[in-house]
A and B are shown apart, each in its own frame.
Chain A
Amino acid sequence: MTIEETFRVLAEEKKRAYIPYLPCGFPTLAHTEKLILALQDAGAHVIELGMPFSDPLADGKIIQDATAQALRNGMNQDRLFSLLEKIKDRIKIPLVVMTYYNPVFAFGVENFLSRMKQAGVEGLLVVDLPIEESREYVRTAERYGRTPIFLATPTTTASRLEKIFALAKGYLYYISVTGITGPQSLPERDLSRRVGQLRKKAGLPVCVGFGIHTPAQVRSIARFADGVIMGSELVRFIALHWQKKDFFSRFSRYVRTFVKEVAGPYV
């Protein structure tokens, strides 16, 4: 399914999307394939796959440590795309690669998008590529039929939002707080108002990420957003438990506690 179809079906079923983020190559290279499949089986609707970068400006300590570990494990673009090509036929939900610009630029923007297409990865989100620098990237993404996903934040002005809406596809990733990734309490009332406004204007599903780490937060954000994105909390869980014998069954159970919070029905 494409991102668009996924959100259409969810809307028909009056559900929201649960979107986990997974840093690839963490905790070991071999884990990535199994974790992707485990997330799919546990009911994730879209998966954001982090291609690690040495200098992750927008990430807090938990994801910084995980991506540094992934790089030490030898994760790179070639390995990522090879592993995704290998499991391509078993993946039924849309995948999005989330990364920083330098790994895309060094690999070649065109090469990166072409390998995404081969590997069946639909979306790309480049954290430090704002709209001003995105023209060529968006054109290339279109040529390869890939979906460029953009971010909006509490500090994004109305005039910037217009420009973002004009380029964004798939879903709008709304960053809940002015800050970096990692668990925190969220200003839910402000968030609800802001997301409400965005949903009217964006012409896209609006998903909220950053800071979300409890089932209660997932539940309350699902009331007003089309999807809930979760990264650091899952990484924390993986880091804590991956060496245990029953890790994968524990992981699945854990992910399901969040998935059930988006089941609705939402009007």
Chain B
Amino acid sequence: MFAEQGEAMTIPDKKGYFGQFGGRFIPETLSCCVDELNEAYREIKKNKEFRGELKNLLHTFAGRPTPLYFAGKLSRLFGIKVYLKREDLLHTGAHKINNALSQALLAKYMGKKRIIAETGAGQHGVAVATVAALFGFKCDIFMGEEDIRRQKVNVSRMRILGARVVPVSSGTRTLKDACSEAMRDWVTRVKDTYYLVGSTFGPHPYPLLVRDFQSVIGKEARKQILRETGRLPEYLIACVGGGSNAIGLFHPFFKDKKVEFIGVEAGGLGIRRENSASLVAGHVGVLHGTKTYVLQDKFGQVKNAHSVAPGLDYPGVGPEHAHYAKSGRARYVAVLDREALEGFSLLSRQEGIIPALESAHAIAYLKKIKPRRKNAVAVVCLSGRGDKDLDILQEYEHDD
């Protein structure tokens, strides 16, 4: 579950910095609860009972381990061996449940009564509503009005599960504003409330904690690909919004220097137009508690992000990705809305798997890879399934 002692654990440092990125930029009111969380997390890592309970829930409730599937038709098409890490098969339909389950269990150990979360695509919201039902927490999910419109099915699922979906009407009415509103709620109710952050952003220790909880993806994938092919892959490919599925896949391969990490951001309508590609098109700044690459104007005002995939529609990115980008450990590229939609139908038609529009970005990048060797292997994180995206697809078909 957790990274073993001494294994690539030099980052982040004590103040939560991955190189020059990360840290803790929060209003004073939140300092105490972030400290409390940091302390609780350090304790819980050593707690055998917690680890056992979590392992059991990930297995019996969420459905881990997920399979690593050899996508034969895609492989022939691209001249590269493509393996899909099937996070889409998890309970609730995406990798988000790994983190939600782990943090909710942590919240239970901390004695919290209420859980709040932000959501964009609604996948994290559904995962949180699910674990709140499981553990009996009161649960409020903050969601931008624009996303509520785009992801109706997930809104219904959250309500069925007993969560309250709080519409956010400020700013761009998407994930960015849902985060701000969740943080405002947290500031107001710090004592009884646990803020269950959905990706590898936010103030320290969230980027660390979410990374650790999502690393189960890469740990399994590493064992599976070694078993399957007898060697490490050439490429790891994952979509990056906040970047939790990507860091979860990448991190356990950190020391395997020959494995190339490729993070696929949402290029939206184009890199010079509206997009969500913070690493490709952004500048260093501070958003939602962390120093990272941010889509912003020269005065530091945060820009609207855009992506066909609501889960990538965020103008910042996890600080560990910022560090990977700066240090060259990973390469970040952008895939346009149009290309992602092609990836979406490609995987659906060729392999019989309907991917989430977020994950379709990673699929779409496959055709751009020029393999360094024959029989090169790529592991792609299929972070979620596409059932939630049917309304969006209809909109796009009408637009065409």
- Report which A residues bind B (CB closer than 8 A): 53-61, 64, 68, 71, 76-78, 100-107, 127-130, 132-133, 150-157, 160, 175, 178-180
Counting CB contacts under 8 A, is B298 at the interface? yes
Contact stretch, chosen from B207-215, B299-307, B336-344: B299-307
- Pair A107/B299 contact, Cβ less than 8 Å: yes
Contacts known (A102-B296, A130-B26); A179 close to B31, Cβ less than 8 A: no
A132 contact set on B, CB distance < 8 A: 15, 23-24
A58:B187 contact, CB within 8 angstroms: yes
Instruction: Report whether B294 and A130 are in contact in the complex, using a CB–CB cutoff of 8 Å.
Output: no
Partner of B171, one of A68, A107, A155: A68
- Contact among B15, B32, B183, B188 with A157 in the assembled complex (CB-CB below 8 Å): B32
Shortest distance between the CB of B71 and any CB in chain A (Å) = 40
- Nearest Cβ on chain A to B192's Cβ, whole angstroms: 11
Q: Which chain B residues border A59 with CB–CB below 8 Å?
A: 184
A-B contact count (CB 8 A): 115
Beta-carbon nearest neighbor of A210 in chain B: B29
Residue among B24, B176, B300 having the largest count of chain A Cβ atoms under 10 Å: B300
Nearest 8 pairs of A and B residues by beta carbon: A106-B300, A179-B188, A102-B300, A103-B300, A155-B32, A54-B301, A153-B29, A151-B28
Inter-chain contact A133/B302, CB cutoff 8 Å = no
A238 to B251, alpha carbons, bound, how many Å? 52
Contacts of B75 in A (CB 8 A): none
Chain B 25-45, CB within 8 Å of chain A: the 1/0 string? 111110111010000000000
- Tell which of B252-260, B269-277, B283-291 binds the partner: B283-291
Smallest CB gap from B304: residue in A: A54
Q: Return B118 CB to nearest CB of chain A, in Å.
A: 12
Is the beta-carbon distance between B27 and A127 smaller than 8 angstroms? Answer: yes
Cβ A155 vs Cβ B29 within 8 A: yes
| Residue pair A57, B27 in contact (C-beta under 8 Å) | yes
A106-B183 Cα distance, complex, nearest whole Å: 22
Residue contact A178 to B299, C-beta cutoff 8 Å = no
Q: Give the chain B neighbours of A68 by CB distance below 8 A.
A: 170-171
The answer to whether B299 and A175 have CB atoms under 8 Å apart is no
Q: Given A157-B32, A179-B187, are A151 and B301 neighbors across the interface (CB < 8 Å)?
A: no
Q: Which residues of B contact A127 (CB under 8 A)?
A: 27
What residue of chain A has the Cβ atom nearest to residue B176's Cβ?
Answer: A55
> 5 additional contacts, CB 8 Å, given A101-B286, A102-B285, A130-B27?
A102-B301, A127-B27, A133-B25, A155-B31, A178-B188
Chain B residues near A105: list those with CB within 8 A: 285-286, 300
Complex Cα distance, B27 from A160, in Å, reads 13
Q: Which residue of B lies closest to A180 (CB)?
A: B184
Interface contact B286-A175, CB-CB below 8 Å? no
Q: Which residues of A contact B301 (CB under 8 A)?
A: 53-54, 71, 76, 102-103
Query: Are B187 and A57 within 8 A (Cβ)?
Result: yes
CA distance A55 to B118 in the complex (A): 15
User: Are B25 and A101 in contact (CB-based, < 8 A)?
Assistant: yes
Q: Which residues of A contact B171 (CB under 8 A)?
A: 54-55, 68
How far does the Cβ of A200 sit from chain B's closest Cβ, in whole Å? 20
Bound: A153/B286 CA distance, A: 22
Q: Could you write out 10 A-B pairs with CB less than 8 Å apart?
A: A57-B184, A76-B299, A76-B301, A101-B25, A102-B302, A106-B300, A129-B25, A130-B27, A132-B23, A156-B32
